[in-house]
């Protein structure tokens, strides 16, 4: 029997009408995933780019700012406690709300507390306490990500995967924009009332903590995924230790026994590195060029938001239309080339149009790459007994580029200057594309089956 063409799985049936496509996006499960995507994207910038703007305005030097990428360590290590999320019950929460929803509400409660603690710090006086607060935000945020990723993978049926993934990524990026551009506008608004800059930043972070409640309300409205309920029933007679052991060992052993597993893991680490390396220094770069905080925020919130939405759904279209390998090629190349727009901006200087173009290119291509990449990660996770652990392992590895490999970005920018720095950001995409060629020749992507975007 002849194997089906790699692209035919997504187009075997007649294409749905635009009304049918729109109706899928309005399905309750897809809407739940959309709001959870916003909840996942919101806290990332609060310990990342937004915090870096706060630090730069407080006079912290570029080298220290670059090293602050290390506070994202929990995003790379979250697979270590993901088996606990898969296997253990949270007292009161699990009994009242279920396996996944209980962990969602618990992690979101901790996240609110962590953001409030970070709001009370001062980068100019106590960088150590800022780092500690950012680390707490990253830890609670990554725990929420573990649960949201498992909830999303388990709750969406095949017919809603495309709409759910595109909605999730678009909402995730919107959450990031709210905690970058939105937070900067809020801080400026507080500052305009006459309070000090430090107090304005504090209240800006307090508002961001309140916005986590959007995810909390979503978790309360949602229903427990059926796959999670079945997995819980299958293991209810086991001890807590046995469940943790099953989740930890099963997730790792099942993945590592696959063909070319180590090469696939290296690809996961490197695919978004080009984005991560440039993203670490984008905010300080814009401030250094002479743009004001509000200039940056206005463009990120305006054209950046539009580009993110369009890019997210464009990524969904690409992944539905083409094979997984081809989609990854498209995403990998466009997100690398987008760095050249910042090199051009560095040469042009303080041009609003040039800044708008660079931000548009970065958000549009990054959203395309993210949708396709998340589709690939989702295709690798197929067992509800350890969905959270396996997905956490993969996303933690993906965060290695953002956290460790990007920690030297400040030193590179300080040494080379901004135009050459962003050229280097483009070139660091080459190793991932080399791995993509090798995995494609080895049949890695064909073995994953149809795209489940």
Q: Exposed (0-12), middle (13-18) or buried (19+): which is 263, by Cβ within 10 Å?
A: middle
Specify the pLDDT at position 310: 87
HSE-up (13 A, CA, CB side) for residue 249: 6
The better pLDDT of the pair 67, 129 is held by 129
Q: Say if residue 405's pLDDT is above 80.
A: no
Q: How far, in Å, CA of 107 to CA of 93, rounded? A: 10
Specify the pLDDT at position 12: 42
Mean predicted confidence (pLDDT) in 415-430: 94
pLDDT, one tens digit per residue, over 79-92 is: 888 888 888 888 88
Mean predicted confidence (pLDDT) in 122-136: 87
Specify the pLDDT at position 86: 82
Short-list 348, 338, 328, 349, CA closest to 422: 338
Confidence of residue 329 (pLDDT cuts 50, 70, 90): very high
Confidence of residue 3 (pLDDT cuts 50, 70, 90): very low
Confidence of residue 4 (pLDDT cuts 50, 70, 90): very low
The better pLDDT of the pair 376, 17 is held by 376
Specify the pLDDT at position 159: 66
Is the alpha carbon torsion for 148, 149, 152, 155 positive or negative?
negative
Q: Selecting from 1.10.1270.20, 1.10.10.10, 1.10.260.30, 1.20.1250.20, what CATH number does the domain 27-447 have?
A: 1.20.1250.20
Specify the pLDDT at position 426: 95
Specify the pLDDT at position 6: 40
User: Average pLDDT of the chain?
Assistant: 83
């Amino acid at each position: 029997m002849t194997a089906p063409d790699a692209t035919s799985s997504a187009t075997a049936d007649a294409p749905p009408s635009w009304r049918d496509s729109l109706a899928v996006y309005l399905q309750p499960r897809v809407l739940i995933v959309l709001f959870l995507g916003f909840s996942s994207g919101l806290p990332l910038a609060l310990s990342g780019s937004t915090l870096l703007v706060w630090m730069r305005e407080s006079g912290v030097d570029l080298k220290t700012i670059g090293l602050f990428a290390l506070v994202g360590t929990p995003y790379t290590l979250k697979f270590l406690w993901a088996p606990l999320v898969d296997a253990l019950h949270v007292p009161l929460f699990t009994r009242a709300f279920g396996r996944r929803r209980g962990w969602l509400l618990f992690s979101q409660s901790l996240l609110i507390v962590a953001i409030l603690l970070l709001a009370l710090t001062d980068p100019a006086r106590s960088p150590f306490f800022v780092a500690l607060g950012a680390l707490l935000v990253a830890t609670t945020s990554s725990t929420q990500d573990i649960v949201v990723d498992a909830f999303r993978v388990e709750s969406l049926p095949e017919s809603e995967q495309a709409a759910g993934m595109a909605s999730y990524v678009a909402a995730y990026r919107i959450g990031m924009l709210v905690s970058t551009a939105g937070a900067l506008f809020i801080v400026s608004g507080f500052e305009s009332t006459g309070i000090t800059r430090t107090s304005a930043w504090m209240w800006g972070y307090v508002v961001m903590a309140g916005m986590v409640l959007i995810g909390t309300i979503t978790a309360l409205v949602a229903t427990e995924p059926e796959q999670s309920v079945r997995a819980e029933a299958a293991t209810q007679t086991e001890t807590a230790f046995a469940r943790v052991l099953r989740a930890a060992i099963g997730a790792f052993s099942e993945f590592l026994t696959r063909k070319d597993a180590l090469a696939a893991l290296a690809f996961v680490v490197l695919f978004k590195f080009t984005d991560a390396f440039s993203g670490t220094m984008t905010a300080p770069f814009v401030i250094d060029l002479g743009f004001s905080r509000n200039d940056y925020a206005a463009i990120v919130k305006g054209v950046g938001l539009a580009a993110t939405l369009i890019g997210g759904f464009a990524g969904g279209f690409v992944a539905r239309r083409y094979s997984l390998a081809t989609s990854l090629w498209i995403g990998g190349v466009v997100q690398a080339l987008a760095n050249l727009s910042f090199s051009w901006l560095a040469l042009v200087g303080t041009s609003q149009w040039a800044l708008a173009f660079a931000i548009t290119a970065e958000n549009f291509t990054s959203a395309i790459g993210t949708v396709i990449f998340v589709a690939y990660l989702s295709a690798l996770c197929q067992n509800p007994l350890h969905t959270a652990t396996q997905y956490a392992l993969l996303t933690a590895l993906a965060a290695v580029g953002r956290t460790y490999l990007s920690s030297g970005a400040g030193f590179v920018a300080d040494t080379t200057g901004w135009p050459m720095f962003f050229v280097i950001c483009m070139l660091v995409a080459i190793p991932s594309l080399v791995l993509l060629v090798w995995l494609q020749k080895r049949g890695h992507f064909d073995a994953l089956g149809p795209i489940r975007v």
